Amino acid sequence: MKLHTIQLKINDEQQTVTVRSGDTLLYTIRKQLGLTGAKPGCLNGDCGACTIHVDGWPMKSCLMMAVEGEGKQITTIEGLKDTPIQQAFVQHFAFQCGYCTPGFIMNGHSLLQKKPDADDSTIKEWLESNICRCTSYSEIEKAIKFALEKNKSS
């Protein structure tokens, strides 16, 4: 078995982990680091439940090996504290079962940071990366738009 001892910078903390080459970042952050906010869904890059940030951009952590994460700034849902997007999701009841919520919030938070002037087509394009089986899409879209507007006016 090929093992690598690597340094991962997650939520501004340096972590040392020993991983198999083929371990996904999702597996490593959940099973080795106990950060269970990123959810396993399809494990195939389709559903977005495992979305985290890598260098500020959304990333499906099932589509990334842990060994690829060295030297990157990684943020999981545990690294966000009372951000505007989290507040907007609460305010707009933008969840039902909540399983997809961390992924949507990570994607939405990155959208706010990277595209603060996002128009409707950009919002739609970004949100298409995540699936909500409870179909809370309307509330999620409202929450994202609310957070974008609030961001602009602050």
Partner 1 sequence: MLPFSFEYERPKSFQEAVTRFQQADQSGKEPMYISGATEFLTLGRINQVYTEAAIDVKGIPEGKVIQFDQGYLVLGANLTLTELEEANVFPLLTSTSKQIADHTARGKITLGGNICGQIFYREAVLPLLLADSQMVMVGPEGVKVKPINEIFYERLLLQKGEFLIQVATDTRYLHAPFISIKRRQQWDTGYPLITIAALKIDRKVRVAISGLCPFPFRSNEMEDALNNLEGSPQEKIQNALASIPSPILDDVEGSSEYRLFVLQNLLLDVYEALKFGERE
If one asks whether residue 51 binds partner 1 (CB under 8 A), the answer comes out as yes
To partner 1, the closest distance from the beta carbon of 133 in angstroms equals 14
If one asks whether residue 2 binds partner 1 (CB under 8 A), the answer comes out as yes
Stretch that binds partner 1, among 62-70, 81-89, 91-99, 132-140 (CB under 8 A): 62-70
To partner 1, the closest distance from the beta carbon of 46 in angstroms equals 8
Stretch that binds partner 1, among 9-17, 54-62, 92-100, 132-140 (CB under 8 A): 54-62
Instruction: Give whole-number Cα distances, 69 to 16, 107, 147, in Å.
Output: 12, 18, 29
CB atoms within 10 A of CB 5: 8
If one asks whether residue 59 binds partner 1 (CB under 8 A), the answer comes out as yes
If one asks whether residue 141 binds partner 1 (CB under 8 A), the answer comes out as no
The nearer residue to partner 1, 124 or 133, going by C-beta atoms, is 124
Number of residues that bind partner 1 (CB under 8 A): 32
| Residue 36 and residue 30 in contact, taking contact as beta carbons nearer than 8 Å | yes
If one asks whether residue 1 binds partner 1 (CB under 8 A), the answer comes out as yes
Of 45, 77, 73, the C-alpha closest to 61 is 45
CA gap 150, 92 in Å, rounded? 14
Q: Which residues of 77-86 are buried (b: 16+ CB within 10 A; e: fewer)?
A: bbbbeebbbb
Residue 31 tokens, joined = 């099973």
CA gap 73, 94 in Å, rounded? 27
Instruction: List contacts with partner 1 (CB under 8 A).
Output: 1-2, 4, 20-24, 27, 43-45, 48, 51, 54, 57-60, 62-65, 67-68, 107, 124-126, 128-130
